[in-house]
Amino acid sequence: MLQRLTRPLENKTSPVTAVNGTEQGDDMEVTATVEVVTPELAADWLARPSRNRPMHEDTVHRYASAMQRGDWSLTGEGIKFDPRGRLVDGQHRLAAVVEGGESIRSLVVRGVEATAFDDMDSGRKRQMADVLRMHGYSSSHALAAAVLLIITYDWYGDFVTSRPGRVFPTRKQQLDILGQHPAIEESVRRAGRSGIRTLVASRAVPAALHYIVASVDADDAEAFFTLLESGENLQRGHPVYALRKRLIDNASSRTKLSANDIAALIAKAWNAYRSGREIVQLKWSPGGANPEPFPVIH
């Protein structure tokens, strides 16, 4: 159950600034206020004529979920209207307010020329790796990707980070996970060793798997990844031998396995290693008439 906002929002506006400007030879006043946007108000604004891009339902659902959890913050990003009162920016946020049924506080800018739509969102979007770097984390790209995979496995039981209907974790949720589980950073460092990087180009998948299996048994996880890294004294039938063979073949193949495929293979090898089972040929078949579910790591 998604948590509701802990405090009700008062329905009032708070003036922030007003800027007078001149565009295309016409005097125009641009005003910006912080306002409480209720579901009713959002629905009214959305019903007005507008000049907007097509609605992206997954984005609306993701925003709505964040609002319901209370993870939505007041930022400088505003809901914008042109001088005629037509919405030019903010439709996904307004649709999320309607879907989630939660009021939010937002900057509302009025008097923006409609032609400004052509220049909106043209800058480089701040990525989670940028946020982590600003918070002082190292290896921020690998760390951001690993955290996303760990959350995806926790929520959905696999490593598919983008699928219709799935909620994408907010930056706050990802930062909270890192704060609560600092061992993820060590898993990223562990996955960065050269022997692992030779087998899997991206650190994110082995880092996420290392953290997950270490949560099951730290000693077995270290032994498993040491064998995976070195390949020493492994014989045919050993799960790590079979895993290394698949990963080495994949590294030289023109058709690469997906992150989810690689994660499933590592998970199957880990489960066999833990139970003492031999594997001659490591396979995972997610498609076809009888698709194999993603392995439950134990």
* pLDDT tens digits, one per residue of 109-153: 998 876 655 455 544 566 889 889 888 998 999 999 999 999 999
The pair of three-digit structure tokens given for residue 137, joined into one six-digit string: 């984390």
Q: Is the Cβ–Cβ distance between 184 and 195 less than 8 Å?
A: no
Q: Which of 91, 87, 102 is nearest to 38 (CA)?
A: 102
Identify the pLDDT of residue 23: 38
Interval 153-168: pLDDT, tens: 999 999 999 888 888 8
134 with 144: CB under 8 angstroms?
no
What six digits make up the tokens of 168?
């994408």
Does the pLDDT at position 20 exceed 50? no
Asked if the model's pLDDT at residue 16 lies above 60, the reply is no
* Alpha helical stretches, state H, 70-181: 91-100, 128-134, 140-156, 171-180
Residues 238 and 242: their CA atoms lie apart, in Å, by 6
Kind and range of the H or E element at 219? helix 218-230
Q: In the structure encoding, which two tokens stand for residue 253, read together? A: 């193949």
Task: Supply the pTM of this predicted model.
Answer: 0.66
With a pLDDT cut of 90, the percent of the chain lying above it is: 57
**How many C-beta neighbours within 10 Å does residue 222 have?**
14
Q: Residues 184, 186, 191, 193: what is their CA dihedral angle, to the nearest 10 degrees?
A: 170
Q: How far apart are CA 221 and CA 198, in angstroms?
A: 19
Q: Are 203 and 188 in contact (CB under 8 A)?
A: yes
Counting residues of the chain whose pLDDT is more than 70, the rounded percentage is 85
Averaged pLDDT, 245-261 = 93
Instruction: Give the three-class secondary structure for 81.
Output: strand
Say how many Å lie between the first and final Cα of the chain, rounded.
Answer: 26
Give the pLDDT score at 167.
Answer: 83
pLDDT of residue 26: 46
| The pLDDT of residue 282 | 96
Tokens of 176: 């909270």
Q: What is the mean pLDDT of residues 248-267?
A: 94
**Contact between residue 113 and residue 83 where contact means Cβ atoms under 8 Å apart:** yes
Kindly state the greatest CA–CA separation across the chain.
Answer: 80
